[in-house]
Amino acid sequence: GEVQKYDKRHLFSLAGEEKEYKAGTEKLIVEYKGWKLCLLVCYDLRFPVFSRNTEGYDVMIYVASWPESRIFAWDSLLRARAIENMSYVIGVNRTGEDDDHYYHPGHSQVLDCLGADVLQAKSKEGIFTVELDMDMQRETREKFGFLEDRDTFTLQD
């Protein structure tokens, strides 16, 4: 295999990440077993223009550390990204208490291209297996064609 890296595009200024890190400028899309995966980190979830499916990916994967105080936004934004991009979304959020005593309730989940639940882990920790249906996603995209009607944007630094 090949090792690739993704530098988080949106640094979380509320926590001062911009003082320690430099924001990335490119999305990372990798292919695995016929699926195109768009890999994103945490706060990137809040920015729909950057997440927009202009590259034809099939699955968005967000790895995150969202605390309990923002879990409603986490759940809502994951579902919105799935629906607006007609893509599976996998959201992997940490559990437990961090060093600053913020509690992270998990809420890891998998949503299909219509925003329907494939898996809701809630506060459970573990390794979960799900089956993604490429044919269903392709048929849904062909039937509804929302991606063809999207606005086009250019991101500039």
Asked if the model's pLDDT at residue 108 lies above 90, the reply is yes
For residue 129, is pLDDT > 90? yes
Rounded to 5 degrees, φ, ψ at 47 are: -120, 90
pLDDT at 155 over 70: no
Residue 2 within a domain:
no
Q: State the burial class of residue 101 (Cβ atoms within 10 Å of its Cβ: 0-12, 13-18, 19+).
A: exposed
Residue 21: inside a domain:
no
Parallel, antiparallel or unpaired: strands 35-41 and 59-64? parallel
Would residue 75 count as lying in a domain?
yes
CB atoms within 10 A of CB 78: 25
- Is 13 a member of any domain? no
> For the chain, what is the domain count?
1
Share of the chain above pLDDT 70, in %: 97
Q: Does some domain include residue 124?
A: yes
Residue 133 is part of which domain span? Answer: 28-149
CB 73 within 8 A of CB 91: no
What's the CATH code of the domain at 129?
A: 3.60.110.10
Task: Answer yes or no: is 65 within a domain.
Answer: yes
Per-residue pLDDT for 46 more than 80?
yes
Residue 9 DSSP code: S
Whether residue 1 lies inside any domain: the answer is no
Give tens-digit pLDDT for 53-93.
888 999 999 999 999 999 999 999 999 999 999 999 999 99
Does 136 have pLDDT greater than 90?
A: yes
In the block, which residue shows the tokens 């329907």?
116
- CA 125, 24, 102, 48 dihedral sign is negative
Name the residue with higher pLDDT: 25 or 45.
45
Kindly state whether residue 132 falls inside one of the protein's structural domains. yes
pLDDT for 157 equals: 66
CA dist., res. 132 & res. 44, Å (int): 23
Q: Is the pLDDT of residue 49 over 80?
A: yes
Instruction: Give pLDDT, residue 54.
Output: 87
Q: Pick the residue with more confidence: 155 or 73?
A: 73
